[in-house]
Amino acid sequence: MAAEGDRELFAEDEISSLTETGEKKYGLVLETAETGHDDIYIEESEMRLALGMNRIAWFPTGVTSVVSSEELTLEDRSILPSDIVRRMNDPGGVKGYATSTKILCNLEEINGFRKFSKVDTSQLIPIFFSDIDINEPVAMDCWAGVIEDIDQEITLAFSDGAMCKVCLSDETLERFKDTSDKTVAGGYKFADVLYYVSQTLTGCLCDLMHAKWTRETKYHNSKSVRNADRKKTCKVTIINIRVKEVEVEWDACAITGKKNKRPKRIIRGPSLRKLKKLDCFNASTYQLGDIVYFSSHPPNVDNPEKIRSPYDKFVKLVKDKNWSRYAMPEFENLAPYVITYTESHVGVMWQDGTTEKDINSCQLYPINYPDDNEYFPGDYVYSREGKSSKQYAVVKRADHLGRTCFVRWFQTISDSQQPEVIKDEEVSVYELREHDTFTFRPGTVVVRSKKYTDSPSDNDTYSENVGQVLEMLTDGRMKITWYGNTESLVYPTEVIVKYDSDDDDDDDDDDGELDFDSESENSDDDCEKLNNSNSSWETEEEDSEEIKVWEGKSINLCLTLSIAFEHLQEAKKTAEDVCELINSLGKGNELPDDALEEILENVIYKVAPLLINSTGKKEVELTKILKKINKHQLSGEKMVRILKDISDTFQQNVINAESEVEISSTGFCSEVVEIKEEKVEPEVPEVLEENGVIVIDDSDDEGISYEFDDEKIKFVEIVPDDHYFKRHNPGTNPRFIKHYHSEMQKLSKDLPKGIRLIAYESDTHKLRVLIQGTHDTPYEDGVFFFDIYLPETYPLVPPEVYYHSMYAERLNPNLYVDGKVCLSLLGTWSGKGTEKWTPKSTLLQLLISIQSLILVEEPYFNEAGYELQRNTANGMENSRMYNEMVLLTLTKSLSVLSRKIPAGFEEEVQRHIKETGGKFLKRIESWIEKPDEPRKPSFPLLPLSRGFQLAFNKAKKELEESIEPNMNS
């Protein structure tokens, strides 16, 4: 049994259970109650598993069921090199990371009789270059990249001797079925590999329309395929799978002292032999149900009477039919097997610097959410103070409970000399930060950046230019396995982590979906490409000018529409103008197809995002229309008709200023604003200010007046230069002014204690807020500042909020150093119901949310997905350590604040520091010196670690020096 609070099972664990007959059946954990759905906003309770329940896929059928942990036995656990682990039954104990994983497996021949036990997976032959390799790293010469796409040529053989070749890119075999596949309909697919040699498939003969025939027979030939209907079936056997071409995104090159030409993006032919997969830990990735090749022993085909295996029959068939020259070169010695059981043994580097080998993986507990201040031997770190960019350290060992590290500091000298050792010392983990560029782990792909004078030369070869990290050493070096199958020790300054192309935005979207939530800049780039492309406009100069005029007018009109929600007549006029312009395009189909395509793309990529962004809506579906555009299947006539559909939708609807604007998708129409009829609002009365009292004067209505509470809100004439939104200059409409003053009145009455607000008389769109940390939380006695900007369309859209970070480290998962505030009410985080912003939401609701939902007792669980760790031993320990970090960061932030007070709150901050600065420090000191005193924190914190105390003593001194002038004033 696991320790209290431990989760016994994790996704991809191999488990077993007893059947009714007492036999063992095996399966994989697909999800658990704690890891099944990280989205905490799932509304349908049935989608969540009950506590202690797990969703299991049973081998080999793929049938899934929900089973209690008590009915399951853990057989094996998938742990890869660099995974962080601890021992089971020791939730507060030392952690470590996996350095190696050795897997022994049981194999069973597919459709055969041969079985093998305890086979080391290093002896298995992977099915090279298949779909599962997409996004995997590869190397060629001195270049590193990732696989973008793979095309394979599969040779199929018929029983009558006919043969043909098909390409995977043609999707020819998608409708064919594997005769040996035991997976039930809709079941879980254990194997990622789709095709392998000796596999038998059945399907319709007519689906081989794109096949290239190498040997035709009477019944199987190109003509019979063309004449076949779907009733005509066939059975084929795969005798060879050949990689036809591999598409690679080359994104990093080693520095070799000479110019190295980038390899071609499409690798084919003889160049494929030079392409190498960087998978030094591939043998550690196998699990139940994987299909592999295994060279058990040469099949016995000399004496037919001794043939025992279907694969033996396959080999005999290949030879009898004279298919050998078309078959896989190693077909006689390699047979396909499926893994039926695994047993993993893991090597671990523990934080205390000790290593251990051959630990059964079931004795280890994976740490999926490690603490940010958790370091391990071999890690490269900086000082948080950043005194010198040329100094870095390597962790020799770490004290998990004490929160300290023993490190060795290095000084980089020059490009031609190795780093120089400065000193060894014990440092608080709170005074360290992970190195920005030395982010190495076992398996990391690296390229050579330099060589020191005493390093061996590789002459003119590429043998030591691209490789993978095998091991992290505590002397400051790493063991690298290189492209040329050699190994060497290097310093981190000699190599760089390969650029990760996964961070790049995809240029093409194969399924035709657009992500308007990412960046509207994409649409601008697309339009810029359209404008810069001469080929599309080389028809007639007259047409080109007409298109440009239409482009400019339509975009400007739609921009107006997107911000004119409350101006009924203007919106109607805009819709009519759009309709008239688009209709004019359809007269006589004067424009060429390519021009119409450019216009339609411009509407979709540029206008639609503007409309959608203006309403706060993010989800759009333009799959069908974009697929047709990408494949150039739309004629000019159809495009004109689509544009008319868009204009008709504009014309048939009118705007509703009171309700949310809805985005609708109909047929071929792109996303448009659904507008509803509403009476025109009466003119908003003039707003006056007399002696600090806001008066709304209306000749027809009785005057309304109210006073602002000076303790909660104060007015300042001019927006200060340090206001983040200083340069935002929106227009102002009467409805906004009326709503603004209504909100100010409400804030004046209902703003809770601990929140102060500054409004600016010269600009009603900007505010500044001070929020005090809540009592009995790690944030007590802290002060936090936010700048707010109210867009012109507020409250239809949420405000924009900027957080003033006083220190270069986060003290809350929702508050970023760059100023971002992560909150569902602001649309910067997912939410449901009242958690999302609506036109009825208020500033008061926003400010209270920041105070009560962000500045909480256990902020650790505010991190996305971490809520699942509540009430677990790992979660409770991480929460306690996170609160240590909050107190330290808050101490340092207060030091900076005394010298960097946001304009307008100088008096409040000085008073706050004078009244609470000393109290704040004494409270923490009492927790260090007398942790058993009655005034214990109500949040997880004690006992405070040695690392905390070391860092706090330094931070305390800085804070005392900073607040001394205020204390004496």
User: Which residues are tagged catalytic?
Assistant: 822
Which residues does 506 contact at the CB level (< 8 Å), separation at least 6? none
Classified as helix, coil or strand, 467 is strand
Residue 473 and residue 442: Cα distance in Å, rounded? Answer: 11
Residue 958 and residue 809: Cα distance in Å, rounded? Answer: 17
Q: DSSP string spanning 470-502?
A: EEE-TTS-EEEEETTS-EEEE-GGGEEEPP-GG
Residue 65 and residue 187: Cα distance in Å, rounded? Answer: 11
Among 339, 303, 63, CA closest to 191:
339
Residue 847 and residue 793: Cα distance in Å, rounded? Answer: 20
Residue 633 and residue 457: Cα distance in Å, rounded? Answer: 56
Ramachandran class of 315: left when φ > 0, alpha when ψ lies in -120 to 50, beta otherwise? alpha
Q: Tell me if 56 sits within 8 A of 71, measured CB to CB.
A: no
Q: Tell me if 147 sits within 8 A of 247, measured CB to CB.
A: yes
Phi, psi of 677 (to 5 degrees): -65, 140
Tokens 């080109």 belong to 544
How many Cβ atoms sit within 10 Å of the Cβ of residue 423? 10
Strands (E), 162-315: 163-167, 177-178, 200-204, 212-215, 233-253, 266-268, 276-277, 291-294
Residue 566 and residue 614: Cα distance in Å, rounded? Answer: 13
Which residues does 658 contact at the CB level (< 8 Å), separation at least 6? 678, 839
Q: CA separation (Å) from 805 to 730, 780, 895, 963?
A: 26, 17, 12, 19
Please name the residue ranges forming H helices in 299-393.
Answer: 310-320
Q: Tell me if 92 sits within 8 A of 877, measured CB to CB.
A: yes
Which residues does 794 contact at the CB level (< 8 Å), separation at least 6? 736, 739, 765
Residue 176 and residue 190: Cα distance in Å, rounded? Answer: 18
Q: Tell me if 380 sits within 8 A of 393, measured CB to CB.
A: yes
CA 530 to chain centre: 30
Q: CA separation (Å) from 752 to 657, 771, 912?
A: 31, 10, 17
Q: Tell me if 13 sits within 8 A of 74, measured CB to CB.
A: yes
Ramachandran class of 358: left when φ > 0, alpha when ψ lies in -120 to 50, beta otherwise? left
Exposed/middle/buried for residue 575 (C-beta within 10 Å: 0-12, 13-18, 19+)? buried
Please name the residue ranges forming H helices in 66-212.
Answer: none
Is the omega angle on the peptide bond into residue 270 within 30 degrees of 0, that is, cis? no
Question: Is residue 763 within a helix (H) or strand (E), and if so which, with residue range?
Answer: strand 763-772
Amino acid of residue 341: Y
